[in-house]
Structure 1
Amino acid sequence: MPRPLRDRERGSRAGVTRRRLASIGIAATIAAAVIVGIASLGPGGSITPVGEVQGAAATGAPPSVASISGQVAGRARPSPAPIARGLTPLPTPKATPHPTPAPVQTLTGYQWPLPNGRLTLPFGPTPWGSRIVDGERFHDGLDLATFCGDRVVAAHAGTVLAAGRRYDAQMGWVGDLKPYLARLDEKGLYGTLPIVVVIDDGNGYRSIYAHFGKVVVKPGQVVRAGKLLGYEGATGRASGCHLHYGLFSPLETATIAIDPQVVKRMKVPGLEIARVDPLLVLPAQRKSPEAARPGPSPGRRSAGIGVR
């Protein structure tokens, strides 16, 4: 009965062979694990945990799952810019508020520019105005009169911005002046304009003096209140000698409209910065023998120096 014995031996040998192969497989698996573990050692011998991206511990980046979810339709969604540790993010800048003029009620230091003048046309609605407010013609200053050649003085201390017939850049127009100035040059119309002085009063406001017969100040000159500026006249479109006095702030955002016929004829801008009633800053007029002295009838005045 030798055959059965050989079968048992063969079976025994086969079992030994299988056990050896299994041992070799286990050893190979362990060796591979050791190799992988050594390869997974980070700098300095630290071990990177399974599933963690190398570098995440240094940068604070999330695991690789986050980078996968950051893909949108084939385009990478930009991640927020990193902020270095120990640095505070810069605050969002706030919008710079627009400067506003000081309330008119706070203005001081004004005096009458034509000390003995009579008020011949007040600030406000008038049939002769060249400005339009609430659909009505409007006079944007005060007309004062005594006699031709009377002294006109500074109503407030300040710096002369314009003196003569080239003053429009200082007048508070809102819009492009080039067409208007080009028309004046082409047609030689500067001689038809009134002689005007514009003064920066140093308080956020400007004073306008118009229709001089002659001026004695120059741009850039610093003047005190009461300083002689020139002499009452009738230059420009005026029917008699008088002074037009106006007041406005370049910081003002409100505007008033110009008569459309004037805009069309003169090519001036259609808007100007809103004016202030000078009576709000001027002292109560004093009565004096000189003020009571009769003067020439002022007649019909131009209701604003923009009418030319």
Structure 2
Amino acid sequence: MTLAIDVRGLNKSFGDKHVVQDVDLQVEEGRICGFLGPNGSGKTTTLRMLCGLLTPDSGQGTALGLDIIAQANLIKRQAGYMTQRFSLYEDLTIEENLMFSARVHGLDDRRNRVDRALERLGLAERRAQLAGSLSGGWKQRLALATATLHEPRLLLLDEPTAGVDPKARRTFWDEIHALSAEGLTVLVSTHYMDEAERCHEIAYIAYGKLMARGEAQGVIAGSNLVTFNGEGPGIDRLSGEIGRLPGVEMAAPFGQALHVSGTDRRALEAALAPYRREPFRWAEVEPNLEDVFIHLMDRSEDNFR
């Protein structure tokens, strides 16, 4: 096993806010790791430390075998970084943005590189279109083409599909998996649980602290959550009432069903006992990533509060 990312004890503060706290993270080459967590949890700060854009206050480690502090400039040359907001030149065309990026990176054979990127991301027919006139999905494709133009070995994506329609998101993820199959390592932050499930592994960070790590099913199993799904007329309207009962950590309506979870099985079953009657039907189900996400979020303390 060769690690593309291997960092330990990363810390970063801004003023009196300890944004990243003793984070350890290892990602194997060619793997896609989903980086999950609520807003303000240190995901973006961690990504920037890994690619040399920020220097950690303490901690150590490597990215692509290079020291993240002493060799940060070398890491930048071999890493692609796609920011949360579209940051390319909107008054340049798709092709002009790519050519500009090629020059900034000092790439050789620029014309062929740009042509290949346009073809790969389905942008060739739009090459003369101004970037500012593109929809969210096409801007996303252009940003990905730019981030991978210099053929990086590590790709860092900061909530790349926020505000993009489901079809564009699926197309984007198909391309990410194709790049991973070619050996590219990807660390991607996301709030979409369906995207997290498409990752080889996930890491959950909450307000600076890494709280869970591993493949999705392992993280779910390690949460120790017990979940029951209730069905029946009007059961979804009971979420507030049931959610306040001892032993119930969360009660969330899903259409006309109700998802109820907790870590103490006995207390949870006692809470649900009065509702195990007609017209309601209950069945134990496996918790999903969203259940675990909310469970971990509720157990963490907001360091900006």
Give the TM bin, normalised by the shorter chain: under 0.3
Higher helix proportion (structure 1 or 2): 2
Bigger radius of gyration among the two = 1
TM-score by length of 2: 0.23
